[in-house]
Amino acid sequence: MRSLVIAAFAALISPLAQPAAAQEGSLTIAYLSGPTAEVPDPRIRFNGWTSNQAGVTETLMGLTPDMELFPRLAESLTQIADLTWRITLREGLIFHDGTPVTAQHVVDSIAPILDTESAVNNPRNANLLSIADMLAEGDRDVIFTTNEPNAAFPWILTEPGVVVLGAPSDDFPINATGPFIFKEAVPDQSYRAVANPNYWGGTPGLAELTIKAVTDPAAAALAFEAGDVDLVINYPETDYARITAAGAKGVTAPNVQLYWLDIDATNGPLADPLIRRAVSLAIDRQGIVDAALSGVGGVPAGSIYPQLMPWAADIAPTYDPAAAEALLAEAGAVKQGGRWMLDGAPLRLDIVTYSSRAALPPSAELIQAYLMAIGIDARVSIGEWGANSDAIAAGEADMHLQAWGVAPSGDPAYFPDVVLATDAGSNIGGYSNPELDALLVEGKQTFDEDTRKAIYDQVQSIISEDAPLIPVFHAAQVSVMKPGLEGYVPHPAITYWMGPSADIRWAD
C-alpha cells in the first residue's frame, strides 16, 4: 500500500514574522457568533471555531490559504497502514503555562471527544475521526488506529474542535498553544485574548484582541461606523461600496461557504425530483449575486464545491425558465391562468431562512420572485435556524435557504456525508439514494486522490440530476476594517483569522 507522508516544510507555511512593534495595540472584531460559556471548552460545538479564529488553540494539522494540508503542531503525519497513522509532534512545543506538550496530551485531549459519557463529547468530530484506538509512544509520537479506512482522517485533524490542550488552571483556563492566550468570555457576547510572547511561531503583532458577537449584520455595520469595532467579518454586501468609498478598508475573498436550499424530499411537491429540478432551473443565480450580494459576495453555484477546491466538478449553474416549466408539465402539473396546479391545487412552496447572514433574506425573496415568475406560488418566512430545520423535518416547509461551510477541513467527504447520506444526522429532508450512499462510503475509504476525485465527481453529478439539495451561490467573505490595520487576509476555510500564518497589526 502507498504510504502517505506529510511533513512540515517552510514553503507551505511560514511562522509569524517578528513585527517591528510587536504586541502593541488591540483589535476588536465583530462576528456573527460568540462563546457559549465563561470558559468555552473548544471541543464543544463551535467554541473551537472561536478559539481557532482568535489564535488561542491550534490543531495537529492545518490548511494553507490554498487549502493544502500542512503539519501545524505536528512535525509529520505518516500513514503506516490502511487503518494506522503516526503523528510526530514538533520539538519544543509548550503550552501557555510553560509546560511541554507531549504525545500523551494529544491522547488526553482527543479521548473525551470520542467518549459519549464525556461533557465535551463531540459526536460530529467523533464520527468524522472514527478512531478505534490511540497510543502515545514516547513524548512526541501518537499512533492512531481508525475503525475503517478513512481517507479524510488527516484532514479532520484540522477541525478546530480537535485541539491539543494542557491542564487548565485559574490563570490558564484554556491552556493551549496558540499565538494568543485566552483571558475571559461573556457567553453569547464577547471573547478576549492577549498575546503569547512565547509562541513557537513568533511574536504576534497585537497585544490584545476581543471578539464581539453581533448576530445582526446591520448592527455590526452600525457598530463599525460608531467606532466600537475595528473589523467586521461578514459585512453586509449591499453596503460595501458605500462604506469603502467613505474611507473604510475592505477586502473580499472566496471561501468554502455554500448558500443552498435544503429540501423536504419526502413530503409535498418536492418529493418529486422533476419538480426539484424545475425549481433549480427557475433560479437566476447570477441575478441573486448581482442584486442580493451587490456583485461582491459570491459567485453562482453549479455544484456543492467551490472552484477554489480541487474537488469541484465542472458543472455550470443553469438558468432556464422554459426548461423548468417543461419539467413541471412532465411531473403532471397543469398551468391555469398563469399559475401551476398540481393534483387540483395551486403548486405552492414554502421557503424558510434566517437573518444572521445579511444575504439570506434578500436571496430568499429573489428565489420567491423567480418561482412566481414561472407560475409557482412561493412564500418566504424568516425564523431561527433550528426552528427552520424542524419545519423541514416535520413537513411544514419545503425549502430552507442556509449557509454552510462545505469543506472547512478541506476534505470533500464532510458535506454530502452529513446532509445526504440516508442515515446522516443532518439529512433533515429524508433523501435516500443507495447509489449515492455507496459512493460516499467508497469516497471515504479510497486513498488514491485521482480515484477519489472521480468518485466525488459522480456524487456531484447525482446531486445535479436528482436535486436533493439546490446550490445557489458560493460565498465570498466580505470584511471591512479601519484604515491602518495590516495583515488581515480572509482564509477560505473560514476558521482562521489570527493564524496559521497571519501577522495582523496596526501600521506605524
CA distance 149 to 114: 18
Instruction: Give Cα separations from 216 to 58, 288, 319, 354, 360 (angstroms).
Output: 29, 21, 31, 11, 12
pTM: 0.90
CATH number of 254-476: 3.10.105.10
Query: Among all chains, which residue has been given the C-alpha cell 501518537?
Result: 142
Contact 297, 307 (CB under 8 A): no
Share of the chain above pLDDT 70, in %: 95
Q: What angle do CA 460, 354, 399 make, to 5 degrees?
A: 45
Q: Taking the domains of the chain in order of start, what are their residue ranges?
A: 5-230+482-506, 254-476
CA 449 to the chain's CA centroid: 22
CATH number of 5-230+482-506: 3.40.190.10
Q: Are strands 339-342 and 345-346 parallel, antiparallel or unpaired?
A: antiparallel
CA distance 190 to 89: 32
CA 445 to the chain's CA centroid: 23
Q: Which of 472, 477, 480, 497 shows the shortest CA–CA distance to 296?
A: 477
What does the pLDDT read at residue 111? 98
Could you read off the pLDDT of 438-488 as tens digits, one per residue? 999 999 999 999 999 999 999 999 999 999 999 999 999 999 999 999 999
Query: Among all chains, which residue has been given the C-alpha cell 424558510?
Result: 352
Name residue 212's beta-bridge partners.
30, 190
Contact 107, 175 (CB under 8 A): no
CA distance 406 to 412: 8
Contact 177, 193 (CB under 8 A): no
Q: Which of 163, 170, 129, 136 shows the shortest CA–CA distance to 54?
A: 163
Contact 378, 342 (CB under 8 A): no
Residues of the chain where predicted confidence (pLDDT) is lower than 70: 1-23, 499-502
Q: Which of 193, 62, 42 shows the shortest CA–CA distance to 125?
A: 42
Would 5-230+482-506 and 254-476 be classified into the same CATH topology? no
CA distance 181 to 258: 32
DSSP conformation class of 101: P
What does the pLDDT read at residue 425? 87
CA distance 347 to 291: 26
Contact 387, 256 (CB under 8 A): no
Share of the chain above pLDDT 90, in %: 90
What does the pLDDT read at residue 287? 97
Q: How many CB atoms lie within 10 A of CB 394?
A: 11
Dihedral sign (CA 27, 30, 32, 35): positive
